[in-house]
Each structure stands twice: as structure tokens, then as C-alpha cells.
Structure 1
Amino acid sequence: MGQTKLTDSQIHDLVIVEKFSAVLSLTGTTLIITSFLTIKSFRKLSSTLIFYASFSNVLSNVAHLVGVDGIRAGRDGVLCQGQAFLQQSFMPADVLWSLAMAINVYLALFHHYDATSLMKLNRKYLIVCYGLPFIPAFVCLFISSKHRGKIYGDATLWCWISTDWATLRITTFYAPIWIAMLTTIFIYILVGNMIFKKHRELRSLSHGNKHLNGRNNQPFSGMKTTEVQISSSIQHGREPSGSSAYNNLPPPNTAARTNQYSISISSLPPDEESQLSRPSPIQAADNRFRLGGVDNVTWAYTKCAALFAASLLITWVPSSANRVYSLVAVGTVSYPLAALSAFVLPLQGFWNSIIYFTTSRAACKEAWNARPRMRWNSRLGVMRNKSHVRLSFVGSKDQGTESMIELSTNKPSRSS
């Protein structure tokens, strides 16, 4: 039910909700910025635009933390005008960054842009995503009239475009936001249609796998693996001068530092190996699917960008509904819609951090595993180096063999 105005108790509750959401968002954006700047593995294509968007989240959250203090400072005060400027300038930037991510997905899938080409667009995105909202936000600082006063003023929970200039809320804020969001949704509809077609091709390829090879109706049945195992141990401090000297070395001391190298190459009959290591029909078709334009990197980026767009819908639908209600039911406010707006609007940075770390699980795991090991080694004065290299060469029936070489190096630590 609508009411003519919010009570002081309701405003107090909404301010608490707003500041709680802003603190969550600031915590998330701080983690994004810190991890991106300090840990190289987080600097992926899918994370870079979220990193750039985080600065708009920080500045808009600062405005939310000011809350009703801006209103209390007076309409003409610096605090009120500054708070309104931050809201008007940086709240829409997040939506524009979502559109930029959607454009990247479109360019990658339909125009075959690679990561290097997409990274070159970042400077243009920075100018557009921060420059476009800045212009009207800055101009509004200097516009006023005798009857309505300045554009920026009391907006119930914070300073923003005042109710006397309510139409500007639509024309300079919500309309551009929804144009950008609808464009983003349209791009993802195109992307979804394209991916659906690729999946349909994948299924047709998997159903037609019987025609790939006539031998036992199994594709790639001419594959073969050869395995040879070679082990050697070299004791430090004694360098072999030749093959005989090397063979006459005494057994290594267990307390001495050694390097152990092992190379293993295995061999199996073609028929047996074909059962173990040949690609499945789905895998073979999946390779065709990737060659068709949807590789793993592009697909991962698409999922990240789609999640980013979905989070914006969660953010902006309640707020937009609240503004539409205020225009339709003039002179009334809806407390439930106002409460939803106060809760979800400051959460953009929080949702971004969830998406950022969810799509960077490998980097998170790497950072988590590396830090304790580095500390432990520094305390013991021990440096451990383990490497594992696996090389695969797949040959057709004409080429004759498939070789799998596994090289592992273990350097035991020297006890002190």
C-alpha cells in the first residue's frame, strides 16, 4: 500500500539497510582491486572489465554511505551536491561495463576477435563507460531555476535529482540504463541462439560417429602408444667424466642432495590402446564445436559476462519499479519498493565480487596454495622445486603412433 511519505522510523531502517549493503559492496570491490593488482593470475580477460567497473562501485558506495547526511547538510551544500553527482555519474557506469562485456562476447563469437584484440578496446571502454555518465552529471551541477531550485536535492534517502525535477530521473538516468541493459540482453539472445545451433551441430556429429571410421565402427582406431621408462640419479659434488665413470658411481647418500629425473614412454597394441585413449565421439564432436567458434576461453568469458548482466537485472528492476510507481501514483511512496531499492542498489560491487571470484576459482586456488608454502619454506630455509610436464602427440593411422612422454623432476630439499 502506498503512503504519502515515509516515517522517520522507516527512513532510519532504510538507511541502516542501505549502509549495510554498501559495506558489503565496498568489501567485495576492495578484494577485487587488491587481488587484481597484486596477483598476476587474476588478470584475465574476463576479470579485467570487472576490475575497471569496481571503481564506479567504490565511488557510488561512498555516496550511499553518506546517506541522509547529505540531505541534512542542505540542498545547496557541498556534501549534498557531491553525493548527488557521485550517484548520477557512477551508478550507470556499471551497466555500461556490462554492455562492454556483452560487446566483447559478440565480437569474439561473431567476428572472431582474440584476447589481444579485445584488450585493445579497454581504453575506449574506459572513455565511454565513465565519460558518458559524467557529462550529464556534471552539467546538472550548474542548472537551477527560480521555482524548482537546483536539480540535485532531496531524494528521500540521499541527495540526487530532486522530486521537482522528477522527469530528469527518467531521461538522464533510467532511460539510458535500460537502453544499455536491453541492448545487452539482445546481444545475449543472439549469442544464445548461436550457441544453441553449435550444440545442435555437436549432437548431429555425435550421432553420425559410426561413419568416422569403418573399423569396428570406432573412430580413431589406428592410434598407438609407446612407453619406455628411463631412470637416473645424479649425486651433487661428483661430476661424471664419461660413461664408465658414471656407471661406477657409488650409491648416493640419503643425506646428500640429489636430482632425480624419470622419463616414461608406454606402448600398447593398437586395438587395446584404441579402447583406452581414443577420443570419444562427443569429444571429437566437441573439438569441431570449438573450431566452429566457441572455444573454452570464449565460453568461460560468455558465462562471466552473462552472470554480470543477470546481477544488473537484480539491481535495477526493483529500483526502476519504484521510480515508475512514483510517476504513476503521484504523491505517494511504496515502502516495500523503497526498501528493495535501498537494499539492492548498493550491492553492485558485492555481486561483481561474487562473479569475479567464482569465475577465477583456479586463480583463487593457486593463490591460496602458494602463500602458505612460501611462508613455510621461508621459515625452514628450504626451497622446493617440483615440475611436471606432459607432452601429447596424437597421430592418425597413417602417421603410425601416438606417443605420450611424461617428464617429472623432483628435487628433494636439503636437510639442515
Structure 2
Amino acid sequence: MTYLSIPYPPAAVAKGIISLQDNLQRVATFKDQMETLSTALSWPLRVFKSETFCFIQGALIQYFITATALWTAMIATHCLLAVKLRKPMAVAAAENYKWYHLTVWGISLVMTAVPFAVQDYAAKGAIYADAGIWCWIATPYNDYQVALLYGPMWGVFVYTIVAYTYVAFKIVQARKFVLKSSGGAGKASQNSINRFAFKAFLYCCVFLSAWVPGTINRASALLDDNPMHQVYEFYLAQTIVMPLHGFMNSLIFFFFALTGSMGESTNTTSDQKGSTDLHSPRSMSANNKENDNSYELKKVSYR
């Protein structure tokens, strides 16, 4: 489903709906697509039962889900730097964009390669193999599932909450300053704060819905590795919500892009109504009449 919510809509739609100048959001949507595509490979892998394809899926899931967590952290860091350094978002992105890429894709590659060293050390068989729901870090390596993905994922979640809380605090401070200096901008400032808070709240809800069932399953497997003692409902919930993680993020992204562009177009229309179009036929006709009258006056004065 995520793969259908492409972040590059046709030009006619994109022109009126969304501007894709924010490369961070664009890359984040791409990695969400790849994450969902990786988890969606489970069904054909069950049919063909290929160890090679199982290995590929396991490595892809580890790589792109790690990238998902890191890009979430980078977007939070991006907002944090923009507020902390008091720079426009575009300037902060231009200065740090390459470092975001190096950090995310580099750490993701390391976290995907580490299991190979673990495999040789633990000697429990192939580490990228059948993990129950799909191919990933195999069931005998339950503790490494937590260490290499779930632990860092929740660490990123806590960091993101702290970062956005700090940003929201600074925004509220700025709003108070604006209200003191100009009462007319208070409503627009409050709308921006509400929009920011609502967007962050939705992303948190998506994260929790996607990762709470899987975390419960991992904790249960660590306490008791007998598959017959696991809770089926939590595995079913994980199977449903985790592949939809990127799709739900894309819905939030396009919803705010759509409502934001509609608001901008409404403001632009209202501004245009308040001013006179100098290039309209009526205005041009009036200007011509004024020019003709002034020409006649000049003729009279010359006589």
C-alpha cells in the first residue's frame, strides 16, 4: 500500500497539491516504501522457499527499518538545529543534508552487517533466516533482535519526543513574543503551533501502533522461547500494522501537504481580491482613457 502512495505525483496534481522541495520528507517517504516492500515479500518467499531470497528479505528489512528509525531521528534533529541555531529550515537543510545521508545510510549498513559477525560468533546457524512472520534475524537470535533493532528503535522514539518537546517549547516562547509585539499575528501563530503539535501527535500514534505489538512479541520470546506459548493476537497485530507503517506515514505527509497548500492558495486569493489587477481589460481600458484625457489636456495647454 505504501508503494502506491508515491511521493512523486503527476505534474498537474503536484502543482496544485504539494511541493517536494523538502528533501528530508521525500527521502523519508522513499525509505517507508522500501520498508513496506521488504515486508511484503513474505508471501512469495513462503511459496518458493528459497534461502537466498529469505536472506535478501532479512537484510532488506534490517537495513530499511533501521533507516526508518534514523531518518525519524534526523528529521527531529533537523528541527532542533533550526530552532537552536535560529536558522531557516532551508538553510539548516542545505548545511547538514549530506551529513544526514551519511549518518543514516552508514549506520544502517553497519547495523545490517553486524549480524554476520554475530553469526560466526554464536554458531546458531544462519542469522538472516525464518523469523516466524517473515525472514529477518532468526528466532534463535531473539536477544540480537532486541539489541540490533528494537532497543535502538525505542531509543530513537524517546529522543524524538524530547527533541520535539524542546522545539514546541521554543515555538510557544516565540509566539508569546509575537503576541506582545503584534496582536494581529496571534491567530496565525496559534494555528501553526496547533498544526505542528497535531502532526507530531499523529506520527507518535503511528509509531506506537506499528512497534508496540512487535516489542511485546520480542519481550515474550525472550522470557519464553517456546512458540506454542506466544500470544497469537499480538503476532497477528504485528503482521497487519508493521507493513502499514510507511503507508500511514505517507497519509499524514500528504494530508498536511494538501491542507497546507490549500491554506496558502486561500490566503493568496484573499490577498489578490484586496488589490487591483493592473493587467485586466477593465484596468487597461481605464488607463487608456486616463492617458487620452491627459493628452487632450496637453493639447489644450499648448494652444
Tell me if both proteins adopt one fold, taking TM over 0.5 as the criterion. Answer: yes
- Please say if residues 39 and 134 of structure 2, whose CA atoms lie closer than 8 Å, have aligned partners that are also in contact: yes
**CA-to-partner distance for each residue in 1:53-97, whole Å, 9 max, x for gaps?**
22222222222222154356557x210100000110001222222
Of the candidates 85, 89, 93, which is equivalent to residue 63 of structure 2? 89
Matches within 5 A, 1:201-212: 205=180
Give unmatched runs, 5+ long, in structure 2: 264-268, 283-303
Greater gyration radius: 1
**Paired letter, 1:283:** G
How far does residue 193 in structure 1 lie from its aligned partner after superposition? 3.2
| Cα distance in 2 between the residues matched to 1:101 and 1:69 | 34
**Conserved? CA contact 1:36–1:43, under 8 Å:** no
Q: Which residue of 2 aligns with 1:178?
A: 154
Q: Which amino acid is 1:97 matched to?
A: W
Q: Is the 8 A contact 2:40 2:243 kept in 1?
A: no
Q: Which residue of 2 aligns with 1:322?
A: 217
Task: Give the distance between the partners of 1:360 and 1:153, measured in 2 at CA.
Answer: 39
Aligned to 1:339: 236
Once residues 137 and 124 of structure 1 are traced to their aligned partners in structure 2, the CA distance between those partners, rounded to angstroms, is 20
Cα distance, 1:185 vs. partner?
A: 0.7
Q: How much has 1:169 moved relative to structure 2? A: 0.3
Measured in 2, the distance between the counterparts of 1:38 and 1:127 equals 32
Structure 1 segments of 4+ aligned residues over 6 angstroms from their partners: none
In 1, distance between residues paired with 2:253 and 2:146? 30
Secondary structure, aligned partner of 1:160: strand
Q: Which moved more, 1:114-123 or 1:155-164?
A: 114-123
Q: Determine which of 128, 131, 134 is the counterpart of 1:152.
A: 128
Deviation at 1:192, TM superposition (A): 3.2
- Given the alignment, which residue of 27, 48, 67 partners 2:23? 48
Going from structure 1 to structure 2, the CA distance change for 1:183 and 1:35 (only over 3 Å counts) comes to: farther
Q: Which amino acid aligns with 1:128?
A: T
Partner of 1:192: 168
1:117 positional shift: 1.6
Q: Which residue of 2 aligns with 1:26?
A: 3
Equivalent residue number for residue 129 of structure 1: 104
**Structure 1: distance between partners of 2:213 and 2:11:** 31
Secondary structure of the residue aligned to 1:53 is: helix
What amino acid maps onto 2:222 in structure 1?
A: L
Offset at residue 100 of structure 1 (A): 1.6
In structure 2, relative to structure 1, the CA distance for the partners of 1:115 and 1:42 (3 Å cut) is same
Name the aligned partner's letter for residue 314 of structure 1.
S
Equivalent residue number for residue 114 of structure 1: 88
* Alignment partner, residue 288 of structure 2: none
- Alignment check: 8 A CA contact 1:188 1:306 kept: no
Closer/same/farther in 2, CA of residues 171 and 335 from structure 1, 3 Å limit: same
Task: Give the letter for the 1:92 counterpart.
Answer: T
Change (3 A) 1:36 1:347: farther
* Distance in 1, Cα, partners of 2:152 & 2:78: 20
| SS of aligned partner of 2:225 | coil
Alignment of 1:4-403 (within 5 A): 24-28=1-5, 30=6, 32-34=7-9, 39=14, 42-44=18-20, 47-70=22-45, 73=48, 77-120=51-94, 121-141=96-116, 144-145=119-120, 147-198=123-174, 205=180, 282-283=183-184, 286=186, 304=199, 307-331=202-226, 332-361=229-258, 390=272
Preserved CA contact (<8 Å) 1:389 1:408: no
Once the two structures are TM-superposed, the CA of residue 174 in structure 1 deviates from its matched residue by: 0.8
Distance of 2:194 and 2:84 partners within structure 1: 13
C-alpha distance in 2, partners of 1:53/1:315? 16
Q: Which secondary structure state, in structure 2, belongs to the residue aligned with residue 360 of structure 1?
A: helix
Q: 1:68 to 1:144 in 2, by over 3 A?
A: farther
For residues 286-328 of structure 1, the C-alpha deviation after alignment (integer angstroms, 9 at most, x for no partner) is 29x96xxx995x9866754554344222221222122112222
CA distance 1:299–1:409, shift in 2 (3 Å): farther
Residues 36 and 245, structure 2, Cα contact 8 Å, conserved in 1: no
The alignment yields a C-alpha RMSD, in angstroms, of 3.7
Is the CA contact 2:58–2:137 (under 8 Å) kept in the aligned structure 1?
yes
1:318 is aligned with what amino acid? P
Q: Which has the higher helix share?
A: 2
Whether the aligned pair in 2 keeps the contact of 1:36 and 1:51 (CA below 8 Å) is no
Task: In structure 1, list runs of 5 or more residues that go unmatched.
Answer: 1-23, 206-211, 213-280, 367-386, 392-403
Q: Which amino acid aligns with 1:48?
A: N
Q: 1:192 to 1:115 in 2, by over 3 A?
A: closer
